[in-house]
A = this chain, B = another copy of it.
Amino acid sequence: MDIGATSIDLAIADFSPNILFRYSEEAQVRKGPIKILGRVCTLLEKMIRENGLQADKLLGIGMGVPGPVDFSNGSVVSPPIMPGWDNYPVIQTVQQWFPSANVVVDNDVNVMALGEIIEGAGKGVNNLIFVKIGTGIGAGIISHGKIYRGASGCAGDIGHISISKSGPLCHCGNKGCLEAIAGGPAIAERALRAAQAGDSPILLKFIEKNYGTLTAEDVGDAAREGDPLSIEIIRESGQMVGDVLASLVNFYNPDMIVIGGGVSNLGNLLLSSIRQAVLNRSLPLATRDLDIVFSEIGRDAGVTGAVNLALDYMFTIESNNGVVERDAD
Q: A residues touching B (Cβ–Cβ < 8 Å)?
A: 68, 77-78, 126-127, 139, 141, 143-146, 148-158, 160-162, 172, 174, 243-244, 246-248, 250-255, 281, 283-286, 288-290, 329
Task: Please pick, from B144, B150, B286, B290, the residue contacting A286 in the complex, using a CB distance under 8 A.
Answer: B150
Besides A153-B285, A251-B252, 5 more A-B contacts (Cβ < 8 Å) are A78-B284, A150-B253, A152-B286, A156-B251, A157-B253
Instruction: Report Cα–Cα, A258/B131, bound state, in Å.
Output: 28
Would A151 and B68 be within 8 Å (CB), given that A161-B251, A251-B161 are in contact?
A: no
Q: Within 8 Å CB of A139, what residues of B?
A: 251
* B78 close to A285 (CB less than 8 A): yes
Q: Within 8 Å CB of A290, what residues of B?
A: 151
* A150 close to B284 (CB less than 8 A): no
* A286 close to B247 (CB less than 8 A): no
Nearest B residue to A155, CB-CB: B253
* A250 close to B151 (CB less than 8 A): no
* A247 close to B250 (CB less than 8 A): no
Closest 5 A-B residue pairs measured CB to CB?
Answer: A150-B253, A155-B253, A151-B255, A161-B247, A144-B329
Task: Please pick, from B68, B162, B172, B251, the residue contacting A248 in the complex, using a CB distance under 8 A.
Answer: B251
- Shortest C-beta distance, A215 to chain B (Å), equals 27
* A158 close to B251 (CB less than 8 A): yes
* A174 close to B281 (CB less than 8 A): yes
Would A155 and B77 be within 8 Å (CB), given that A144-B329, A150-B286, A283-B160 are in contact?
A: no
Task: Please pick, from B146, B154, B283, the residue contacting A157 in the complex, using a CB distance under 8 A.
Answer: B283
Instruction: Report Cα–Cα, A174/B282, bound state, in Å.
Output: 9
Instruction: Report Cα–Cα, A150/B150, bound state, in Å.
Output: 16
Q: Within 8 Å CB of A153, what residues of B?
A: 253, 285
Question: Please, could you name 13 A-B residue pairs with CB atoms under 8 Å apart, sorted by A?
Answer: A78-B284, A144-B148, A150-B253, A152-B288, A153-B253, A154-B283, A155-B252, A157-B283, A157-B286, A158-B247, A161-B246, A172-B283, A251-B251
Nearest B residue to A288, CB-CB: B152
Residue of A158, A252, A288 with highest tally of chain B CB at under 10 A: A252
Task: Please pick, from B127, B151, B156, the residue contacting A151 in the complex, using a CB distance under 8 A.
Answer: B127
Nearest B residue to A159, CB-CB: B250
Q: Within 8 Å CB of A246, what residues of B?
A: 161-162
Q: Within 8 Å CB of A172, what residues of B?
A: 283
Instruction: Report Cα–Cα, A255/B151, bound state, in Å.
Output: 5
* B255 close to A162 (CB less than 8 A): no
Q: Within 8 Å CB of A152, what residues of B?
A: 253, 285-286, 288-289
Q: Within 8 Å CB of A150, what residues of B?
A: 127, 252-254, 286
Nearest B residue to A156, CB-CB: B251
Task: Please pick, from B127, B243, B286, the residue contacting A162 in the complex, using a CB distance under 8 A.
Answer: B243
Q: Within 8 Å CB of A151, what residues of B?
A: 126-127, 253-255, 286, 289-290
Q: Within 8 Å CB of A281, what residues of B?
A: 162, 174
* A77 close to B251 (CB less than 8 A): no
